[in-house]
Amino acid sequence: MLISSLLLVAGLAILIVGANFMVEGASALAKKFNISNLAIGLTVVAFGTSAPELVVNTFAAVQGHEDIVFGNVLGSNNFNLFIILGITGLITPLAVQSSTAWKEIPISFLAIIILFFLVNDVMLWGSENSSLSSIDGIILLVFFALFLYYVYMQLKTDSSQAEEVVKVPAYSNLKMGIFIAGGLGGLVLGGNLVVNNAIEIAESLGISQKIIGLTVVAAGTSLPELATSVVAALKKNADIAVGNIVGSNIFNIFLILGASSVLAPIGFSPGFNMDIYILAGGTLFLFLAMFTGGRKKLDRWEAALLLIFYLAYTTYLVMQEL
């Protein structure tokens, strides 16, 4: 199991490095063809922070490890919301723009509701089993396209924000090719290592793939969001810290689960409903936090509540398995 654990950590590291390399190379390539910073930020860079989840879920879906698929996305979203916002909110109170409080946070809640209705076929429609079908995946991808259009229109109306979406380096053709090819190779290799060794660890410890997906895999694939938000908080840039998390959670549901289920229908275990409820409750708490204490701000005591709750919940989950 020690070897599997080391390979899992190595896989997560390779995933993150691969995503960074791919973003660097693809951004430089797009800039060479005179694609705007705004368009690059909305596509290449936004995709880059979600690439670890996407690659892990693609391998897990194709190999039929359904609990890893849902565990990774729901676990990542809860980790983002409770742990990352909890940590960054303790560093500095997170004040946000009106659009984040009134639009992006409600959109992330809408994504959770849509997912709940799509996956609970037995509970809601009396079907024999519950799954996220290929049709469901297309529905999620349509909502993802609509969300991208919304973000584009938001940034288009704020030219100052649009200019700061991404800083693109200038590379030679050879360097761009190496970065893109190396990044994609790293994503494939890292994704394989994460999925295969997460399964081995779960089997050797006698715990479910669900728990591994909700904890180890979810936390590992959320490291890019953690790094981005902590740096933004230290620089007192709360909009990036909160927007990164809310946007990532929307990406994970609409894009990651959408793309995964288009590749192969994914069976849904009703046990994941508790994680959906917690994600919905945490999102509502974040929305209400914008209107208590400091206006449109996540205060330190509210961030502490998020952190304490999720640490307690995760401890409970692991203890249930032992």
What pLDDT sits at residue 151? 81
Structure confidence at residue 294 as a pLDDT band (50, 70, 90): low
How far CA 168 is from CA of 10, 148, 243, in Å, comes to 28, 20, 20
Residue pLDDT, tens place only, 23-53:
788 878 877 877 765 566 556 766 777 788 8
Q: Does residue 223 carry a pLDDT above 50?
A: yes
Closest by alpha carbon to 41, among 56, 26, 19? Answer: 26
Query: Within 10 A of 48 (CB to CB), how many other CB atoms are there?
Result: 22
Q: Would you say domain 2-321 falls under CATH 3.40.50.2300? A: no
Q: Could you please report the per-residue DSSP string of 224-237?
A: HHHHHHHHHHHTT-
Q: Could you please report the per-residue DSSP string of 181-220?
A: HHHHHHHHHHHHHHHHHHHHHHHHHT--HHHHIIIIIHHH
What pLDDT sits at residue 275? 96
- Taking the CA of residue 164 as centre, how many other CA atoms within 13 Å lie in the half-sphere pointing to its CB? 6
Residue pLDDT, tens place only, 133-171:
999 999 999 999 999 888 878 767 665 554 455 566 677
Q: What's the CA gap between 254 and 239, in Å, rounded?
A: 22
DSSP-derived pairing of the beta strands 297-298 and 94-95 = antiparallel
Q: Does residue 9 carry a pLDDT above 70?
A: yes
- Answer yes or no: are the C-beta atoms of 193 and 60 closer than 8 Å: no
What residue segments make up the domains of the chain, in order of their start? 2-321
Closest by alpha carbon to 228, among 84, 109, 93, 115? Answer: 84
Which range of 14-28, 173-187, 256-270, 288-302 scores highest in mean pLDDT? It is 256-270
Q: What is the DSSP secondary structure assignment for residue 70, as one 8-state letter?
A: H
What pLDDT sits at residue 292? 75
Strand partners, 197: none
What pLDDT sits at residue 179? 87
What pLDDT sits at residue 162? 46
Any alpha helices (H) in 85-169, and if so which ranges? 85-91, 98-99, 105-119, 121-125, 134-156, 159-163
90 CB contacts (<8 Å, ≥6 apart)? 300, 303, 304, 307
What pLDDT sits at residue 41? 58
CA dihedral 257, 260, 265, 270 (to 10 degrees): -40
Q: What is the DSSP secondary structure assignment for residue 131, as one 8-state letter?
A: E
What pLDDT sits at residue 318? 80
48 versus 199: the higher-pLDDT residue is 199
pTM: 0.86
Which range of 22-31, 184-193, 216-225, 250-259 scores highest in mean pLDDT? It is 250-259
How high does pLDDT run on average in the chain? 86
Structure confidence at residue 8 as a pLDDT band (50, 70, 90): very high
How far CA 188 is from CA of 52, 281, 299, in Å, comes to 10, 34, 40
- H or E segment to which residue 16 belongs: helix 2-32
- Choice among 40-49, 210-219, 308-317 with the minimum mean pLDDT: 40-49
What pLDDT sits at residue 90? 92
Structure confidence at residue 246 as a pLDDT band (50, 70, 90): confident
Residue pLDDT, tens place only, 84-128:
999 999 998 887 777 777 888 899 999 999 999 999 999 998 888
How far CA 320 is from CA of 27, 208, 224, 276, 315, in Å, comes to 45, 11, 29, 18, 9
What pLDDT sits at residue 21? 86
Distance from the Cα of residue 265 to its chain's centroid: 20
- Choice among 51-65, 75-89, 300-314 with the minimum mean pLDDT: 51-65
Mean pLDDT within 170-183: 85
- Answer yes or no: are the C-beta atoms of 132 and 122 closer than 8 Å: no
What pLDDT sits at residue 158? 62
Closest by alpha carbon to 254, among 99, 123, 148? Answer: 148
